[in-house]
Amino acid sequence: MPPSNPEGPILVVDDDPDVREAIVDTLQDEGYHVVQTPGGREALVYLRSNPPPSLIFLDWNMAPMNASQFMDEFCKEPSFQGVPVVLITADLHASQKATTSRYDGFITKPINLDTLFSVVERFTKKR
Amino acid sequence: MRQARYRDQELADSIELAADLLRTVAARWRFRIQAGRLGSHPVDETMQVVQSFEQAIEVLTGETAGPATRRASGLDTNEERFRQLVDSVTDYAIFMLTPEGMIASWNAGAEGIKGYRAEEIIGKHFSIFYPEEDLAAGKPARELEIAAREGRYVEEGWRVRKTGEKFWAHVTITALRNSSGRLTGYSKVTRDVTELRNANEALRQSEERLRLMVEAVRDYAIFLLDPDGRVATWNIGAERLKGYKAEEIIGKHFSVFYPEEARRREHPADELRRAKAEGRYEEEGWRVRKDGSQFWANVVITALFDQEGRHVGFTKVTRDFTEAKHLREAQLALQLRDEFLATAGHELRTPLSALLMQVQSLARSAKVVDPRLKDRLEKAAAAGARLEKLISQILDVSRLNAGRLALDRERMHLDAVVREVMDRFADLATESRCPILLRLEPVEGVWDRVRLEQVITNLVGNAIKYGKGKPVEVETLLDGSDAVLRVVDHGIGIAPEDHKRIFDRFERARGTREYGGFGLGLWISRSIVEAIGGGITVRSTPGEGSTFTVTLPLRAKEADAAKQS
């Protein structure tokens, strides 16, 4: 297991700008360093040219590249190994989706702040 | 010499008559062979008989056509041959009558059909073969009269055997005259056609029954068109559906049933063309009644061909599908509504989720800056959370309506699920000063955790909402092969007449103003429980409280989706 980078920023990947910015604002208010991309492709571009983030929040239902397709690409790159990915989904049955696959956790929409912070605290150090 | 000539002439007449008879018989049997109407007679043997008849005709007529000397010399042989021939015919009674109607000869066929032997019948009057009512009406004498006047009398009618039994006879009486035109007697050929008549009668009756049946069908217009499309028959269903009486419509062209627009583009003729080409044409479309009103019809036109393949017309069956069409349209509208609800719910939820998060996050930061702001923001967040719940319900309803409620089956403890939900209710229960008493027996089964939580949340939420601050009891227990969840409150209760209604959509026992919400909670709970394969019931006394009991099989049923109406 390659070392994760708890010092790194939190990457928020969501194609809905309102939801994405709400997460970014909330986490920034709490004192975290947050970066964002509007989709999976942009996230891959970011990851290839920057130091690894401490955590990726990944929206499930995005177009044109959904979470699953993003993970297909993500898992191919050895340098991304060890970066935790947490799924954000409106699906009530997300627990099954997350445990049977490649994610390190999930949070359901509407996002409960306590849940969000407890997930973040597991992987990231505040600045 | 005169004697001889006379004798000769009489013989010639007889021979001619015999040849005629044989020709009739042979031709008739040939026809039956060709038409395949032989009944139980074997083809080969029948053909042999026909051929021997035809040979006999040749022999007879060949001889008579020859010179007078040869005729005279072969006389005895020919007469004998002819006699034998007639004698051997068994399917036909062939015999001679004197001008007075006395029986003068008798063959094997006559004996077979009528039952008399030659010696007991020759010399008797032929009226013995007729039923009493015919005798009373003077029929036998009249028949001879007609035969004498016109040469021949042919009929079918009842005759009587020696046993008294009646049979249906085909009768030919031919008048016999000598060269001077004097009546010398009659030949009578009788055939027993009872079976044929019975078969025809059965066919006729069956056709009649079919006709009566078609005429009596009330819900379908069933009628025939001639090859040009003119109405040829009409039934009660057609009268009911289209408003015309048989006498007003028969003979009219069927295009009167079509709207002007369809007539203009020659649609009726086109339908007939296609039915004729493809055997059948079916469509749904608007048709016009006599009073001008329109109905949505299902129409099947079938081309009719006779045995030789000639096109003889069409059958047309029309049904009124107006209601079915409206029903389909209503169903489509419902489906569109549910699709809209699903899309709208989903689309509303995303920005709401962003809004809620911003408000909650702000309330959190404001805690430090300004406690009053925090309070207001938390109220905004609570309102947002309520909106979120309502949208979730809309989504659930649209899923349940579309039968798209997928169940995620996993093993769990019902009591543990209840305990988890109760933890979430702790704040609300304290706030409404409603103590919750748990009596949880361990019950294990395979259900859908999220959906089960929804049911528990709804029932306990209702119990607190309508519980007037009195204790709420939640029980789990195993009852035989069922898991039971019971939620009991001691609040306002539900009137008996409302017990069924509260499980319906948009229903609640109390007015909307007093208690908020869509009134969908119990309907969703019932739908979920039924999708799992269980049931939900209520027992309640107004003023004393309510008990909701959910019964679940220990394994959620495997049906792929809940089929809700």
A22 inside 8 A of chain B by CB = yes
Q: Inform me whether the pLDDT recorded for B485 exceeds 80.
A: yes
Confidence band, pLDDT 50/70/90 cuts, at residue B6: very low
Strand B183-192 to strand B92-97: parallel, antiparallel, or no bridges (unpaired)? antiparallel
Confidence band, pLDDT 50/70/90 cuts, at residue A35: very high
Cross-chain Cβ contact B408/A93 below 8 Å: yes
Confidence band, pLDDT 50/70/90 cuts, at residue B417: very high
Q: Inform me whether the pLDDT recorded for B71 exceeds 50.
A: no
Confidence band, pLDDT 50/70/90 cuts, at residue B70: very low
pLDDT in the model for residue B21: 82
Supply the range of the domain harboring residue B459. Answer: 409-553
pLDDT in the model for residue B509: 60
| Among B76-85, B441-450, B537-546, B549-558, the least confident range | B76-85
CB A93 within 8 A of CB B450: yes
| Chain A residue at shortest CA distance from B348 | A110
Q: Give the count of beta carbons closer than 10 Å to the beta carbon of residue B478.
A: 15
Q: Give the count of beta carbons closer than 10 Å to the beta carbon of residue B311.
A: 11
Q: Inform me whether the pLDDT recorded for B63 exceeds 70.
A: no
Confidence band, pLDDT 50/70/90 cuts, at residue B561: very low
- Across chain B, mean pLDDT equals 85
| Among B69-78, B216-225, B420-429, the least confident range | B69-78
Residues B364 and B493 grouped into a single domain: no
The mean pLDDT of B6-20, rounded to a whole number, is 72
What phi and psi values does residue B547 have, to the nearest 5 degrees?
-125, 115
Chain B partners of A113 at a C-beta cutoff of 8 Å? 357, 360-361, 364
Neighbouring C-alpha atoms within 13 Å toward the C-beta of B358: 12
Name residue, tokens 């030949």.
B187
Look at residue B462 and tell me if it is in a domain: yes
CATH fold of A10-122, please?
Rossmann fold (3.40.50)
Confidence band, pLDDT 50/70/90 cuts, at residue B435: confident
Q: Summarize pLDDT for B491-510 with one digit per residue, the tens.
A: 888 888 888 888 887 666 65
Chain A partners of B346 at a C-beta cutoff of 8 Å? 90
Q: Where are the domains of chain A?
A: 10-122
Q: Inform me whether the pLDDT recorded for A20 exceeds 80.
A: yes
Chain A partners of B450 at a C-beta cutoff of 8 Å? 92-93
Instruction: Give the Cα-Cα-Cα angle B406, B407, B411 (nearest 5 degrees).
Output: 165
Type of residue found at A7: E
| Chain A residue at shortest CA distance from B453 | A92
Higher pLDDT, B72 or A115: A115
Neighbouring C-alpha atoms within 13 Å toward the C-beta of B161: 15
B369 inside 8 A of chain A by CB = no
Look at residue B280 and tell me if it is in a domain: yes
Look at residue B380 and tell me if it is in a domain: yes
Give the whole-angstrom CA distance, residue B24 versus residue B187: 13
pLDDT in the model for residue B143: 93
Work out the minimum CA distance from A2 to partner chain B, whole angstroms. Answer: 33
Domain boundary among B297, B320, B343: B320
pLDDT in the model for residue B442: 93
Look at residue B57 and tell me if it is in a domain: yes
Give the whole-angstrom CA distance, residue B420 versus residue B438: 12
Q: Summarize pLDDT for B351-399 with one digit per residue, the tens.
A: 898 999 999 888 888 877 788 888 888 888 888 888 888 888 888 888 7
Work out the minimum CA distance from A49 to partner chain B, whole angstroms. Answer: 29
Give the whole-angstrom CA distance, residue B315 versus residue B227: 10
ipTM of the prediction = 0.85
Give the whole-angstrom CA distance, residue A34 versus residue B361: 15
pLDDT in the model for residue B2: 35
Domain boundary among B371, B401, B431: B401
Look at residue B157 and tell me if it is in a domain: no
What phi and psi values does residue B503 have, to the nearest 5 degrees?
-90, 0
Return the exposure string of B126-150: e unless at least 16 CB atoms fall within 10 Å of the residue's CB, then b: beebbeeebeeeebbeebbebbbee
Q: Summarize pLDDT for B272-317 with one digit per residue, the tens.
A: 999 999 999 999 999 999 999 999 999 999 999 988 888 999 999 9
Which residues have a Cβ under 8 Å from the Cβ of B80 and sit 6 or more positions away? Answer: none
Higher pLDDT, B560 or A60: A60
Chain B partners of A25 at a C-beta cutoff of 8 Å? 358, 361
Chain A partners of B417 at a C-beta cutoff of 8 Å? none
The mean pLDDT of B59-78, rounded to a whole number, is 51
The mean pLDDT of B471-482, rounded to a whole number, is 92
Count of domains forming chain B: 4
What phi and psi values does residue B403 have, to the nearest 5 degrees?
65, 30
Which residues have a Cβ under 8 Å from the Cβ of A57 and sit 6 or more positions away? Answer: A10, A11, A12, A13, A14, A23, A86, A88, A107
Cross-chain Cβ contact A110/B385 below 8 Å: yes
What CATH number is associated with residue B462? Answer: 3.30.565.10
Grouping H, G, I as helix, E, B as strand and the rest as coil, residue B338 is helix
The mean pLDDT of B162-173, rounded to a whole number, is 93
Look at residue B195 and tell me if it is in a domain: no
Picking from B355, B361, B388, the nearest residue to A113 by CB comes out as B361
Cross-chain Cβ contact B358/A16 below 8 Å: no
Return the exposure string of B391-408: e unless at least 16 CB atoms fall within 10 Å of the residue's CB, then b: bbbbbbbbbbbbeebebe
Dihedral (Cα; B164, B165, B169, B171), 10-degree rounding: -10
Residues B434 and B523 grouped into a single domain: yes
Name residue, tokens 């910015």.
A21
Q: Inform me whether the pLDDT recorded for B4 exceeds 70.
A: no
The mean pLDDT of B521-532, rounded to a whole number, is 90
Q: Give the count of beta carbons closer than 10 Å to the beta carbon of residue B378.
A: 17
Cis omega (within 30 of 0) for bond into A3: no
Cross-chain Cβ contact A113/B364 below 8 Å: yes
Q: Summarize pLDDT for A47-76 with one digit per residue, the tens.
A: 999 999 999 999 988 888 888 899 999 989
Work out the minimum CA distance from A83 to partner chain B, whole angstroms. Answer: 25
Residues B536 and B420 grouped into a single domain: yes
| Among A20-29, B57-66, B346-355, B479-488, the least confident range | B57-66
Q: How many distinct helices (H) and strands (E) make up chain B?
A: 18, 15
Look at residue B347 and tell me if it is in a domain: yes
Which residues have a Cβ under 8 Å from the Cβ of B103 and sit 6 or more positions away? Answer: B95, B96, B97, B121, B122, B123, B124, B125, B126
Give the whole-angstrom CA distance, residue A56 versus residue A11: 5
The mean pLDDT of B69-98, rounded to a whole number, is 69
Look at residue B126 and tell me if it is in a domain: no
Q: Summarize pLDDT for B253-268 with one digit per residue, the tens.
A: 999 999 999 999 999 9
Our measurement of the distance from residue B350's CA atom to the centroid of its chain's CA atoms, rounded to an integer in Å, reads 53
Cross-chain Cβ contact B350/A19 below 8 Å: yes
The mean pLDDT of B536-546, rounded to a whole number, is 91
pLDDT in the model for residue A102: 81
Chain B partners of A29 at a C-beta cutoff of 8 Å? 361, 364-365
Which DSSP letter does residue A52 get? Answer: P
CB B564 within 8 A of CB B546: no
| Among A78-87, A97-106, B57-66, the least confident range | B57-66
Percentage of residues in chain B having pLDDT higher than 90: 44
β-sheet bridge partners, residue B281: B301
Work out the minimum CA distance from A117 to partner chain B, whole angstroms. Answer: 11
pLDDT in the model for residue B514: 52
Confidence band, pLDDT 50/70/90 cuts, at residue B203: confident
Q: Inform me whether the pLDDT recorded for A100 exceeds 70.
A: no
- Chain A / chain B CB contacts < 8 angstroms: 56
Q: Summarize pLDDT for B437-468 with one digit per residue, the tens.
A: 999 999 999 998 888 998 999 999 889 888 88
Domain boundary among B272, B287, B320: B320
Confidence band, pLDDT 50/70/90 cuts, at residue B57: confident
Continuous H helices in A11-125 = 17-29, 40-49, 67-76, 94-99, 113-123
Give the whole-angstrom CA distance, residue B358 versus residue B373: 14
Confidence band, pLDDT 50/70/90 cuts, at residue B159: very high
Grouping H, G, I as helix, E, B as strand and the rest as coil, residue B272 is helix
